[in-house]
Amino acid sequence: KAGVTQTPRYLIKTRGQQVTLSCSPISGHRSVSWYQQTPGQGLQFLFEYFSETQRNKGNFPGRFSGRQFSNSRSEMNVSTLELGDSALYLCASSLDGTAAYEQYFGPGTRLTVT
Amino acid sequence: AQSVTQPDIHITVSEGASLELRCNYSYGATPYLFWYVQSPGQGLQLLLKYFSGDTLVQGIKGFEAEFKRSQSSFNLRKPSVHWSDAAEYFCAVGALGTGNQFYFGTGTSLTVIP
How do residues B53-65 score in pLDDT, each as one tens digit? 889 999 999 999 9
Could you tell me which of B41, B23, B29 has the C-alpha nearest to residue B77?
B23
Predicted confidence at residue A100, as pLDDT, reads 64
Whether the pLDDT of residue B47 is over 80: the answer is yes
Predicted confidence at residue B90, as pLDDT, reads 96
* 3-state SS class at B83: helix
For residue A110, the tally of other CB atoms under 10 A from its CB is 17
Predicted confidence at residue A26, as pLDDT, reads 94
Predicted confidence at residue B24, as pLDDT, reads 96
Q: Answer for the pair A3, A26: CB distance below 8 angstroms, yes or no.
A: yes
Whether the pLDDT of residue B39 is over 70: the answer is yes
Contact list, B99 vs chain A (CB under 8 Å): 31, 33, 48, 50, 55-56, 97-99
Predicted confidence at residue B23, as pLDDT, reads 97
- Residue to test with chain B: of A54, A103, A110, most B Cβ within 10 A: A103
Whether the pLDDT of residue B51 is over 90: the answer is no
For residue A76, the tally of other CB atoms under 10 A from its CB is 23
Taking only the tens of pLDDT, chain A with its 114 residues reads 679 999 999 999 999 999 999 999 999 999 999 999 998 888 999 999 999 999 889 999 999 999 999 999 999 999 999 999 999 999 999 887 666 677 889 999 999 999
Residue A113 identity = V
Q: What is the mean pLDDT of residues B82-92?
A: 96
Q: Answer for the pair B100, B36: CB distance below 8 angstroms, yes or no.
A: no
Q: Which of the four pLDDT bands, split at 50, 70 and 90, describes residue B98? A: low
- Residue to test with chain B: of A45, A50, A54, A74, most B Cβ within 10 A: A45
Q: What is the mean pLDDT of residues B98-102?
A: 70
Using a CB–CB cutoff of 8 Å, tell me whether B105 touches chain A: yes
Q: Where are the beta strands (DSSP E) in A1-114?
A: 5-7, 10-13, 19-24, 31-38, 42-50, 53-57, 64-68, 74-78, 87-94, 104-105, 109-113
For residue A94, the tally of other CB atoms under 10 A from its CB is 24
Could you tell me which of B62, B63, B49, B4 has the C-alpha nearest to residue A101?
B49
* 3-state SS class at B18: coil
Strand partners, A75: A22, A67
Give the CA dihedral A49, B2, A44, A80, nearest 10 degrees.
80
Predicted confidence at residue B108, as pLDDT, reads 96
Could you tell me which of A43, A28, A109, A103 has the C-alpha nearest to residue B47?
A103
Predicted confidence at residue A95, as pLDDT, reads 86
